[in-house]
Amino acid sequence: MATVKMQKPICLIDNDESGCMCVRREALEILEEITQPVVVVAIVGLYRIGKSFLMNRLAVKNDGFALGATIESKTNGIWMWCLPHPTKEGHTLALLDSEGLGDVEKGDTKHDTWIFCLAVLLSSTLVYNSMGTINNDALEKLHYVTKLIEDVKVKSGSKDDDQSTEFISFFPSLVWTVRDFTLKLELDGQPITADQYLDNVLKLKPGSSKETEQYNLPRYCLRNLFSPCKCFVFDCPASGEKMKQMEQLTDTDLDPKFVIQVEDFCNYIFTNAQAKIMREGLGMTGRMLGSLAETYVEAISSEQVPCLDNAVESLSQIQNKRAATEALDFYEREMKQKVQLPTETQEHLSEIHTDIQREAVEIFINCSFSDFKQIHQLELMRRMQSVYEEYCRDNVETSREMSKAAISRVFSSLQTELKNRYCMQPGGYTDYRSALERATEQYRSEKGHGLMSEEVLSEYLSEKEEIGHIILAADKSLTESQQETERLKTVTDEQQRRAEEEQSRIKKQQLKDQQRTYHENAEQLLKKLEKEQGITKQELERVLNVKMKEQRELLEEGFENRAKKMQREIDGLKENKSEVTAAWPSLRSMLEALEEVAKNFLPGIGRLALAVLIALVILDPNTAHPELILSEELTRVRFCEETKQQIPNDLERFDNHPCVVASEGFESGTHSWDPDIGKSKHWEQEKHT
Ligand SMILES: Nc1nc2c(ncn2[C@@H]2O[C@H](COP(=O)(O)OP(=O)(O)OP(=O)(O)O)[C@@H](O)[C@H]2O)c(=O)[nH]1
Ligand SMILES: [Mg+2]
Task: Summarize pLDDT for 161-197 with one digit per residue, the tens.
Answer: 556 666 777 788 899 999 999 888 888 888 999 999 9
DSSP 573-587: HHHHHHHHHHTTTHH
In terms of domains, do 55 and 138 share one? yes
Answer yes or no: is pLDDT of 575 > 90.
no
Residues 6+ apart with CB under 8 A from 75: 51, 52, 65, 66, 97, 98, 99, 100
The residue whose CA is least distant from atom 9 of ligand 1 is: 50
Residue 178 shares a structural domain with residue 269: yes
Buried b or exposed e, range 472-490, using 16+ CB within 10 angstroms: beebbeeeebeebeeeeee
Residue 609 pLDDT grade (very low, low, confident, very high; cuts 50, 70, 90): very low
Torsion region of 190: left, alpha or beta (phi above 0 gives left; psi -120 to 50 gives alpha): beta
User: What's the CA gap between 44 and 194, in Å, rounded?
Assistant: 19
pLDDT above 90 covers what percent of the chain?
Answer: 35
What pLDDT score does 613 carry?
A: 45
Neighbours of 626 (CB within 10 A): 16
Q: Do 624 and 602 fall within a single domain?
A: no
User: What are the CA-CA distances from residue 521 to residues 308, 518, 671 (Å)?
Assistant: 30, 5, 19
Domain finish residue from 290, 312, 334: 312
Check if the beta carbon of residue 278 is closer than 8 Å to that of residue 28: no
Q: What pLDDT is stored for residue 125 in this prediction?
A: 95
Q: In 3D, which of 361, 450, 470, 364 has the Cα closest to residue 407?
A: 450
Find the mean pLDDT for residues 624-644: 71
**Quick one: pLDDT at residue 282?**
74
Q: Is residue 632 part of a domain?
A: yes
Q: Is residue 473 part of a domain?
A: no
Q: Is the CB of 74 under 6 A from ligand 1?
A: yes
Mean pLDDT of the region 527-544:
82
CATH for 262: 3.40.50.300
* 142: three-class secondary structure by DSSP: coil
Nearest ligand 1 atom to the CA of 54 is: 15
Whether the pLDDT of residue 610 is over 70: the answer is no
Q: Which atom of ligand 1 is nearest to the CA of 46?
A: 25
User: Per mean pLDDT, which range of 88-102, 161-175, 332-346, 662-676 is the poorest?
Assistant: 662-676
Same structural domain for residues 533 and 580? yes
- Global pTM exceeds 0.75: no
Confidence (pLDDT) at 512: 87
Give residue 560's identity as a one-letter amino acid code. E
Residue pair 42/98 in contact by the 8 Å Cβ criterion:
yes
Percent of the chain exceeding pLDDT 70 equals 84
**116 Cα to the center of ligand 1, angstroms:** 18
Beta bridge partners of 177: 129, 232
Probe residue for ligand 1, chosen from 52, 130, 262 as the CB with the greatest number of ligand atoms within 8 Å: 52
Q: Counting atoms of ligand 1 from 1, which one is nearest the CA of 55?
A: 15
Contact 324, 371 (CB under 8 A): no
pLDDT grade for 614, boundaries at 50, 70 and 90: very low
pLDDT band at 659, cuts 50/70/90?
A: confident
Q: Is 55 in the pocket of ligand 1 (CB under 6 A)?
A: no
Does residue 426 lie in a domain region? Answer: no
The lowest-confidence range among 133-137, 665-669, 683-687 is 665-669
CB distance 200 to 219 below 8 Å: no
Q: Helix crossing, 375-410 with 412-419: angle to 10°?
A: 50
Q: Average pLDDT of 263-278?
A: 93
Domain range for 208 is: 10-65+74-101+119-150+170-312
Tell whether the model's pLDDT for residue 516 goes beyond 70.
yes
Co-location of 566 and 531 in the same domain? yes
Q: Which of 312, 334, 359 is the last residue of a domain?
A: 312
Lowest-pLDDT choice from 261-275, 553-567, 647-661: 647-661
H or E element, residue 618: strand 618-619
The DSSP-derived string for 4-68 is ---SS-EEEEEE-TTS-EEE-HHHHHHHHH--SBEEEEEEEEBTTSSHHHHHHHHTT-SSSSPP-
Cβ 400 under 6 angstroms from ligand 1: no
Per-residue pLDDT at 8: 92
Name the residue of 48, 239, 242 to mutate for ligand 1: max ligand atoms within 8 A of Cβ: 48
Residue 346 confidence class, pLDDT cut points 50, 70, 90 = very high
- Asked if 220 and 280 sit in the same domain, the reply is yes
Is the model's pLDDT at 633 over the cut of 60? no
Same domain, 574 and 646: no
In a shared domain, residues 593 and 660: no
Q: Which atom of ligand 1 is nearest to the CA of 48?
A: 21
Centre of ligand 2 from the C-alpha of residue 236, in Å: 17
Query: Between these two residues, 152 and 470, which has the higher pLDDT value?
Result: 470
100 close to ligand 1 (CB < 6 Angstrom): yes
Of 608, 634, 653, the domain-final residue: 608
Q: Is the CB of 79 under 6 A from ligand 1?
A: no
The answer to whether the beta carbons of residues 298 and 292 sit under 8 Å apart is no
Torsion, Cα 298 304 306 310, to 10 degrees, reads: -80
Nearest-angstrom CA–CA distance, 337 and 12: 39
Residue nearest to atom 21 of ligand 1 (CA): 48
* Residue 138, in any domain of the structure: yes
pLDDT on residue 611: 42
Q: What are phi and psi of 535, to 5 degrees?
A: -65, -40
Collapsed DSSP state (helix, strand, coil) of residue 95? strand
Question: What is the structure's pLDDT at 136?
Answer: 74
For 18, residues 6+ apart whose C-beta sits below 8 A from its C-beta are none
- Look at strands 78-84 and 10-15 and give their pairing: antiparallel
Closest ligand (CA of 44): 1
Confidence of residue 612 (pLDDT cuts 50, 70, 90): very low
Task: Judge if 127 and 24 occupy the same domain.
Answer: yes
Q: Are strands 125-131 and 38-45 parallel, antiparallel or unpaired?
A: parallel
pLDDT in tens, 275-313: 988 766 778 899 999 999 998 898 888 766 667 777 778
The predicted model gives 564-573 an average pLDDT of 87
Q: Among all ligands shown, which has an atom nearest to the Cα of 177?
A: 1
Has residue 526 got a pLDDT over 70? yes
Does 491 fall in a domain? no
pLDDT at 606: 66
Ligand 1 geometric centre to CA of 583 (Å)? 52
Residues 670 and 525 in one domain: no
113: Cα separation from own chain's centroid: 32
Top mean-pLDDT range of 70-79, 142-151, 383-392, 652-661: 383-392
Lowest average pLDDT, out of 199-203, 264-268, 406-410, 623-627, goes to 623-627
More confident residue, 28 or 183: 28
Q: Which atom of ligand 1 is nearest to the CA of 101?
A: 25
In a domain, residue 478? The reply is no
Q: In ligand 1, which atom is closest to the CA atom of 49?
A: 19
Q: What is the mean pLDDT of residues 383-387?
A: 97
677 shares a domain with 538: no
Whether 289 is covered by a domain: the verdict is yes
**Number of independent structural domains in the chain:** 3
Domain co-membership, 143 together with 259: yes
What are the residue ranges of helices labelled H in 411-477? 412-419, 428-445, 453-475
Residue 39, pLDDT > 90, answer yes
C-alpha to C-alpha distance for 391 and 314, rounded to whole angstroms:
35
Q: Is residue 391 part of a domain?
A: no
Q: Is the CB of 50 under 6 A from ligand 1?
A: yes
**Is the pLDDT score of 651 beyond 60?**
yes
